[in-house]
Amino acid sequence: MAEVNNWYELGPFTVFDVETTGMSPVRDRIVELAAVRVDQDGKITRFESLVNPNCRIPPQVSRVHRITDNMVVDSPKFSDVGYKFLDLAKESTLVAHNARFDLGFLQESLSRSGLPLWKGKTMDSIRLMKQAYAGLPSYSLQSLRRTFQLEDLREGLQAHRAGADVEWTVQLLQIAFTELLKKVGS
């Protein structure tokens, strides 16, 4: 394997996050999808969209991500958003923080919309962080954000919104891969 100087040379990676109407991929729906693709040359492409779930967002869920029915009423349906996402992510490794949750919703939504399922590689940034930094008290995104003093690279980022969570996960990916590459090199 050729020497890797920068973490993104291991890619391409498409870091993604979803916000939903609840916890069940079968019963609940995606209301927001965001992704950042990092190519092997370091080029970054961003994608972010609210999604009309065609159902009401429970108030207790809206309190977490602050996405309301009024915000999504004129948003595209998942089939449109999913198609654009698949195009962005093609031939990359999907990365999510707690990937089982996000990938479950993605696959269920793709299937429900008649779009092809994701068959490419996937990676969970939690597992990667545990490999790079074993023994931390918590691997939740907000805890890691505080521990590693992650930056708000875009104005107006809010925790528990897909765009913000993706930006912070990209930073964690960089931190974890940089640490793991140091360990391999030593």
Residue 44 and residue 30 in contact, taking contact as beta carbons nearer than 8 Å? no
DSSP letter string, 17-39: EEEESSS-TTT--EEEEEEEEE-
Residue 7 and residue 181 in contact, taking contact as beta carbons nearer than 8 Å? yes
Q: Which residues are catalytic?
A: 160
For the range 25-31, what are the long-range contacts, defined as Cβ-Cβ under 8 Å and sequence gap of 24 or more?
A: 25/104, 25/105, 25/107, 25/108, 25/109, 26/108, 28/105, 29/53, 29/54, 29/55, 29/78, 29/109, 30/78, 30/81, 30/105, 30/106, 30/109, 31/57, 31/65, 31/67, 31/72
